[in-house]
Each structure stands twice: as C-alpha cells, then as structure tokens.
Structure 1
C-alpha cells in the first residue's frame, strides 16, 4: 500500500523507521519530513500544515493510509478533511483532538467523570486569574489551554512568578491563541510517567510505560522543553500502578469519551504523576509523544501498520501486540540556548559512526550545501537498546560523544531515576 506520514520531527523519523519494516508498505511518503526520514521514504516539499496540498497528493497518489504525527494538524481537523474525501487516516478527528488542543476541555472531562487529576480553575481574563493565585498561594502551575509545542506549562514557585506567567501567556503574543484561556492548577509532587495507548473507540490497549525528561537541565531544573530524553519501560510503573492506571484512568477515559459521543481512533497519551501508589493525570495528548516514540517504537515487535489498520476497522481487540523484553533509552541533543533563542545552521558530524550500533533519530536538521546542519531546538535523539538500564545509559551517551555540532547541549542524567528502582 501507499502510505503518507505527516510531520517533520524526531517522532516522525522514529515512525518512518518503524513503518519501513512493514511488508505491507509499497511506498512511504513523508510531508515534510527531514533528512532522517528521507532514509526510509520520499520526503515531500510541502509543509504539514498545507492541508490542500496534502489532500491533493493523497488523492492523486492513491494513498491508502495517512498517519498524522504532530498535534497541530489533528487540532486543525485534517482527519475530518481526509475522511470527507473517503481517505483512511490514523489519528483522532478534530472533536476528539480537543483532549490535547484544549486543556480546559480535558480538565472538565476528567472532573465530570471522576478521573483523578489536580485541582484547577480555568480563566479567560487576567484579573480573576491573579485573584485565584493570591487565594491559592504557591507553588502553583499555570498552563496555556491551547497548543504550545510542549512549552505552555509554567511551574511557578512564588506568587510573583505565577502572576508573571499569567501575564506572559495572556497579554503577549508568545503563545498566540493558545493563551486565550489558561488553566491554573495545584502543584503536584511525585514522579512523572507516560503511558501511550492504542484506541479504536471501543477497545483501548496500553503500550509500555515510559518516562520523559521535560526540564532543560540536569536534576529536572530549568524551563520546560518538548522533552530532553526518555526511557522505557519505566520502572516507576510497577504492576500495581499499572493496574490502578487501567482501572482508574485508562478505561474511565474511554468510557467518558463514549458517554460524550466522541469517537476516538488513534493514540491517547496519558501524562501521569505518581506518588504513594496514587495516580493523577497531568495531561492528555492525542498522538505519539516526542521523545517517547523514540523509545517505545524500537521496543514494539508487532507490525505497526497492522495495528493501525485494526484501530481504523475497530478490530483492535483481535490484535496481539508483542513487545521486546529489552530496555530503550534516548538522549536528546539540542541547540545551544534551547528552549530559549538558539542559532541554526551548525554543521553536524559523527552520526554515521554513532548509528553503527545505535538508532539516531533526526528532528531539527536540514541539508545545506550538501552538509547536514542544525535547523531546530531539539536536533537529534540518540537511542540505545539493551538488556539493562546500565547498558543503555552507557551506550546512548557513548553515541552522543561521537556526534558533534557547535553549541550542542544535552542532559547528562537521563535514566538515573530508573537505576534507583531496579
């Protein structure tokens, strides 16, 4: 079959790599892709938000399956558009994508259906939000309700920081329309984990638990990023926690969507906070996480295309999804200064040497004058597989040492939490 993958980041490089192993695919196209995805398919020269061009291409090339990687096209309704023209698309429609595109919608759904989450309030005006902060005190969390590329969450340690966050989100153009509404919620402590799940509207099947590292610097310090590394399976999600998750979060979420007559087909991302055997939902996303995809997909032994077809035909319950017993860990190499201002166009060397026994997924890269150069904040995800976390940590960082570009920065503590729970 002919398959179209939409997106251009590290997640899409991981998806393209995994899709290329399926015998069901004849031609794989990626819009717009990156130099990494070009190793596994044909990159297209139009952007992931050019819905007209994407639709015309899918119809012309008789695309039998379209896979939407990032959240923005889902929120914009690309699934609805493709379905209206009789095309098969893996990903939720615009209504279902509100789980991610509107934090207010997600929090209201959790509250209505008793899905455990942090106490919160939503606001569309600055003054009531500031009054709420003064009433609740700090630390407290301020979130842009809309899509903000993983950077719309500010953990404020003081009331002054929280008020500044409110004003930054709502009164500047930093987050655009995503900041028209904000969520202010209680500060939760514990250990974070992510569980992705395939969902066909009737059945929901969890993947392996993973752990992202959102803070820019070692020790979970610094501003939030799109993610500086991840590992799987996350030991913090033991069998007891996993059972609690299924009973208290995963199944109730599907039941809530069904009760609201929302037909969800795709991947649901559950961002969790775990403390004292208790689970609370931090956020939902409606697609593979990034960088979680870079450690989950390498551990998936089943054919991803077969799973996606089962989701679209609502036959997920008939699929036996198999996972490797290995561990996986990725370290994200980012441009100097990320997630604030950073320079682009720095030559990248050493990927070929690192990729001899590792997976190097490209994210913010481009080709300039026949050289691979940096073109984004998160540049590469270096992923290692192995039998133990000690092994994958060592091998991933050995791979990182082989790769060079000016100003490269990365966390040096990815995976350390896993070692404490072995």
Structure 2
C-alpha cells in the first residue's frame, strides 16, 4: 500500500472565485516559498476546514510517489508548471458557463478594459504587464467572460515570461513588474478586443506598426482557436460574435515593441457592426450530432455544434474545429443543414431556387460539395 502524502507546506488561495489548496512534500520547500511569494496577492486566510474546490498535492518527482500526488521537479521553472496546472483546473470548472479566451486582459484607466489575443510568441504577457501598469492587471493568459454582460472575472496569476538564461518560461511576481491586481470580483466589459501581431521581420519598414479593424468572419477564424471548449458553451459562438460587435469589431494590432501599444490604441479606426443570425442544429438529424451515415446516393451536413450566418457566408463550429464558409460553400452547407440528407439533384435544384440559373450550376455545386467533404463538413452516403 502506497504511503499517504507528506505535507511540509501548504498554500491557500482564492482564485477566480475558487478556493484553492496547494500542498508540497519534502524536497519542494523552495518551490513552496516561491509559490507563496508569486501568489501573495491571492493568498486566503480562511482555513475553516471546508473542502477546497481545487486541490493539488505535489510530491518531489522520482521513486514511488504517494497516492494522489502530482510529481514535480524542484527546478526554477517549477512555479510556472504549478500555475499551468492551476489554470487548467480553473478552466475545467468553468467550461460550459463562461467564454474562456487564451488571452491577456488589463483595465486601463483611459482606454478601458482591453483583451489581448494572440498565438504563442505574440507578446501577450509583455503587453499585459506594460498596459496594466497604470490601471489594473487582470490576467496574462486566461480571460474569463460572463455571457450576456461580458463582465470579466479577474485571473491575476503571476506573469509568465520566457527566461533566456533558463531557456524556458518562468513566473514573475506582480509587484516586481509594477502591477496591481484588480481589487473587484469582476471588471467592466471589454472596450477593445485586440489581435496582437508582433512584427519580427527586420526588413519591414518602420512605419509597419498599425491598428486595423478585422472583418467578423476573419476575427472568428483567428479567435476561436484561442478559446477553450467554446462548443460546450450554449450559444458560445454567438456570444463571441456579440462580444466583438459590442466593441465595434476586433482590432488587429501590428507592432514591434509593447511600448508602442498605448499610443497606437489612441488612434482607432471607426467601429464596425455586423448583423449575425444563429443557426441551431435540428434535433435528431446529423447536424445535431447524429453520426449515422446518410443513405446511399445522398449528401448530408456533418455533425456540428453551433453556426452563425455572418456577412460573407457562414461560420460553423464543431467539437473538432471551426470553419468559415463563404459564398456557395456556405449556401450548400446551409441547405444541407436545414433540409437534411439530399440527393445531388435535389441539392442543385435548391441552390438554383436560391440564387438562380447558371450554365455551370452542376459543376459548381459538385465543387462546393467536394470542398465541404474534403474538410469534413459534409458526408456522402
């Protein structure tokens, strides 16, 4: 029988509305001290005996580990590993109830609440730590948004940055970066959603820095991969589109250094607003998740979770991914999702009824079906 875990240090936190208990076994004393320092702004004094909502018990990696513990190596990047575990636990408990973005967020005293979205290497942590100095730091990694009100729940974890000497990411305490965590349980709805694009090409002209509005379909294409389980949030895709419309459209920010950002964000292009219509799967058919193959000789829409009619066509979300379907491809998919399995002749007839006769209608519809099937969004019987 494996021995019960031995605890030499424990840290209690209140994180994004969740009570958290982190315990550390022998050999992790230095890590435990660092965690206390890094997360000091979220330390909880409560020890009323209640079971924490999130508990992680760490033991030094190597040998036989006590049951129920998480192995952890006593390395300089250990605190970054712990924050990653905690972030995943918070995400797990919020899936299906909040819009969860892999994004930084700050409350700027003049520019409002800013959400900073970008792929790895886009500079979210650096931008969050600079823009947050004059206001409140909300997060550098997990932006938690309540559907309807779009209020943000702060998740002011330590800032994670790449350490060139270490060759890996490590966490940095907020005071050392001149940051103050938000005092409130919720921050105002975003004033801007920023798509960060850091210019790293030395040959690009100095005047390459810019701020431009991004069409809704393109913004969805770029932001959906930076969400967590969007398909599990009822109306999640529509919620994301509503958020973008509420700020006048996403902004692509191309920049070289984070120090440029505040000045760039003071000269914004006009807002843009786009009408969208939510398309719901019909209960009992393939679109609602029934994987039954369509009858021989017919074509059907593949199962999907959510879809929107946008300015250029359709945007479809499934558990396995998302796709923008402009023009004819969007129309064909919409007809299949609405009518259920169709023969090719039936589908072509519906297309003609929608957009009129065309001498190459058969070839065009076949091409659209092939495109949809090739991307996994339509199935042939």
What is the TM-score normalised by the length of structure 2? 0.27
Which TM-score applies when normalising by structure 1?
0.25
Larger radius of gyration: 2
Larger RCO (CA under 8 A, 6+ residues apart): 1
